[in-house]
Amino acid sequence: MKLSKEKQQQVIAVLIGAVLVIVALYLLVITGQQAKIAKLDKELSDVQNLVARAERDIKDEKIKLEMLAEATNQLAELEKQLMPTNEVYSTFITLLNQFKTQQGGRIDIVEISRDRSAPLGMLNKFPYGTAIFTVRGFAHYHDFGRFLADFETQYPFMRVRQFSLSAGALETAASEKLSFEMDIVALVKPNP
């Protein structure tokens, strides 16, 4: 089928017009939509990252809460070993006498002074108090050393802060024993 020249020009004009309309639609509508889709993809990616981070934080929070609960329970167990605030002196005497008996009574404790409080001095706002007891007595050198080592091992919240040793009295039966004086610092439970 042969078209006239005029019809051919009209078909060409319609084709050119169609191409121009398609190009215009592409430039005006489709590229705009592609830009919006790209922007939405970026926003979606950002939101997915935010959700993933939030889920990770929630998981971390659960783990940290479990760790906190475990640490709180451990602290409560350790605090049971501390001296009670209202009975510091009697508790210390009882513990020391029990420990001395466990050791076979190889040291003689002559005097235990009343407790005196002192700040710990190492940490600000330390939640525990301290009680200091001065203990005097007699013991053989080896027995005294064993007593000190075992005492600090068995009672981790009590420490011998300072001690002095001197020769025992010459005219007594304890002349081969050393006299000792030591300050024992004990952590005390805080008042509830």
Domain CATH code at residue 170: 3.30.70.60
- Tell me if 146 sits within 8 A of 103, measured CB to CB: yes
Mean pLDDT of 147-161: 88
Q: pLDDT: is 66 or 31 the higher one? A: 66
**Whole-structure pTM value:** 0.60
Mean pLDDT of 83-90: 78
Alpha helices in 103-180 (DSSP H): 141-154
Provide the token pair at 81: 């070993």
pLDDT tens per residue across span 88-101: 888 888 888 888 88
Domain residue limits at 125: 85-188
Coil, helix or strand for 80?
coil
Q: For the chain, what is the mean pLDDT? A: 84
Residue 182 has pLDDT above 60, yes or no: yes
pLDDT tier, 123 (very low <50, low <70, confident <90, very high otherwise): low
Which of residues 40, 61, 80 is at a domain's end? 80
Same domain, 140 and 156: yes
Same domain, 115 and 129: yes
Residue 169 has pLDDT above 80, yes or no: no
Same domain, 55 and 133: no
pLDDT tier, 120 (very low <50, low <70, confident <90, very high otherwise): low
Same domain, 74 and 90: no
Residue 108 has pLDDT above 70, yes or no: yes
Mean pLDDT of 119-125: 65
Which of residues 80, 113, 142 is at a domain's end? 80
Provide the token pair at 188: 């005390």
Mean pLDDT of 125-132: 80
If one counts the domains in the chain, the total is 2
pLDDT of residue 170: 53
Question: Cβ neighbours of residue 141 under 8 Å, at least 6 residues apart?
Answer: 165, 178
CA distance 142 to 146: 6
Which of residues 80, 111, 128 is at a domain's end? 80
Same domain, 103 and 160: yes
Same domain, 114 and 177: yes
- The residue assigned the tokens 């005492």 is 151
pLDDT tier, 47 (very low <50, low <70, confident <90, very high otherwise): very high
